[in-house]
Amino acid sequence: MLIRVKRRSDPKPSELTPKSVYEDRRRFLRTAAVAGASAAFPGLLVSGAARAGRKLPRVRHNPDYSTDETWTDYDDITSYNNFLELGTGKEDPKENAHRLKTRPWSVAVEGECERPGVYDLEDFVKPHRLEERVYRLRCVEAWSMVIPWVGFELRTVLKAARPTSKAKYVAFESVYDPKNLPGQRRRILDWPYKEGLRMDEAMHPLTILAVGLYGEVLPNQNGAPLRVVVPWKYGFKSAKSIVRIRLVEKQPPTTWNTLAPDEYGFYSNVNPEVDHPRWSQKKERRIGEFFKRRTLPFNGYADEVAHLYAGMDLRKYY
């Protein structure tokens, strides 16, 4: 059963959504009501530990691109993180979240395009209708979560930039701020964090830029104020806290591929048939669950994205 993303022809979410999801929603609404009392600053997208829990306005749930699986607990999503800029332990990013300064924040769109630009975060996000999309996230470390993201499709940004015919790949760059980010004072990798996608992957409607989760402003530890989410690839392809989107002609160098090319390929599609050199990728532990579950090809999004790789040897291009 690979079809986990719903189609337009499918029943409405109210007919399908398991009870647990509604219970999660109710719990979320209770939490939000408490948090709402401290929402003194109405500016869009104000992030940071002190203002966590601010609800994002005008978010439309998109059932066509959402899995029906039970949402991972908010506390797990925000306290079990990989974000090396904020430390190497799973709980470090939450503890150090306040060290990430998300104001002011600008995003550069540049490279092989007719309309490059540098945008203040607000201006960058404002033209987009925010959607909630419930995606699975599968980490290369063989754990997974189900996360209700809030964001918009990356392709709208790319199209607006008018890519030239030379634009074959998209490179992403995360924040570089060693004064504030404790992880960047250590040379554990060649900062800033870099990732990349092939143009057709970046233009795929499943690929989004997220600004929130659980209906709220993205917590810093999850990559505030703006991060990429590519649900059919291992989690590390989804770069957090991005400041630069560059259209390029050649396959760009990426952090993990540069650091350990034998362990992390450029594509990094979730593939249970290709083991990591040091462990199996056949199963995963859904955070919050006890028994492991089988990992699905393309993280369950094969129907949507497998065609992008037709004719490619995915053992070679892992």
Ligand X SMILES: Nc1nc2c(c(=O)[nH]1)N[C@H]1C(S)=C(S)[C@@H](COP(=O)(O)O)O[C@H]1N2
Q: Least separation, in Å, of the C-beta of 14 and ligand X?
A: 28
**To the nearest 10°, the Cα dihedral for 263, 267, 272, 276?**
0
Q: How many angstroms separate the Cα of 278 from the Cα of each of 166, 188, 263, 268?
A: 37, 20, 8, 15
Span near Mo ion by CB under 5 A; candidates 13-21, 95-103, 133-141, 192-200: 133-141
Q: How many angstroms separate the Cα of 136 from the Cα of each of 16, 70, 240, 286, 291?
A: 17, 10, 16, 10, 17
Q: Which of residues 169-188 bind ligand X (CB under 6 A)?
A: 174
Q: Least separation, in Å, of the C-beta of 234 and Mo ion?
A: 6
Would you call 170 helix, strand, or coil by DSSP? strand
Q: Which of residues 72-91 bind Mo ion (CB under 5 A)?
A: 82
Q: Least separation, in Å, of the C-beta of 223 and ligand X?
A: 6
Cα–Cα distance between 129 and 113 in angstroms, integer?
23
Per partner kind, with CB cut-offs from 5 to 8 A, the member of ligand X, Mo ion, none near residue 171 is none
Q: Least separation, in Å, of the C-beta of 86 and Mo ion?
A: 14
Q: Which of residues 220-249 bind ligand X (CB under 6 A)?
A: 222-223, 235-236, 238-241
Residue closer to Mo ion by CB (options 137, 245) is: 137
Cα–Cα distance between 136 and 132 in angstroms, integer?
13
Q: Least separation, in Å, of the C-beta of 299 and Mo ion?
A: 12
Which residues lie across from 147 on neighbouring strands? 135
**52 counts as binding Mo ion under rule CB under 5 A:** no
H or E segment to which residue 107 belongs: strand 106-111
Which 8-state DSSP code applies to residue 146?
E
Cα–Cα distance between 168 and 296 in angstroms, integer?
28
**305 counts as binding Mo ion under rule CB under 5 A:** no
**137 counts as binding ligand X under rule CB under 6 A:** yes
Residue closer to Mo ion by CB (options 219, 235) is: 235
For the purposes of burial, counting CB atoms within 10 Å of the CB of 300, is it exposed (0-12), middle (13-18) or buried (19 or more)? buried
Q: Least separation, in Å, of the C-beta of 7 and ligand X?
A: 27
CB 207 within 8 A of CB 229: yes
Residue closer to ligand X by CB (options 13, 28) is: 28
CA angle 120, 193, 56 (to 5 degrees): 40
Q: Taking CB under 6 A as the rule, which mask of x and - marks residues 68-87 in contact with ligand X?
A: -------------xxxxx--
Residue closer to ligand X by CB (options 7, 278) is: 278
Which residues lie across from 171 on neighbouring strands? 196, 246
How many other CB atoms are found less than 10 A from the CB of residue 22?
11
Residue closer to ligand X by CB (options 163, 225) is: 225
H or E segment to which residue 149 belongs: strand 143-153
**For Mo ion, which residue of 87, 111, 151, 235 counts as binding (CB under 5 A)?**
235
Per partner kind, with CB cut-offs from 5 to 8 A, the member of Mo ion, ligand X, none near residue 84 is ligand X
**295 counts as binding ligand X under rule CB under 6 A:** no
**139 counts as binding ligand X under rule CB under 6 A:** yes
**231 counts as binding Mo ion under rule CB under 5 A:** no
**102 counts as binding ligand X under rule CB under 6 A:** no
How many residues bind Mo ion (CB under 5 A)? The answer is 5
- Contact footprint for Mo ion (CB under 5 A): 82, 139-140, 235-236
- Contact footprint for ligand X (CB under 6 A): 81-85, 137, 139, 174, 193, 222-223, 235-236, 238-241
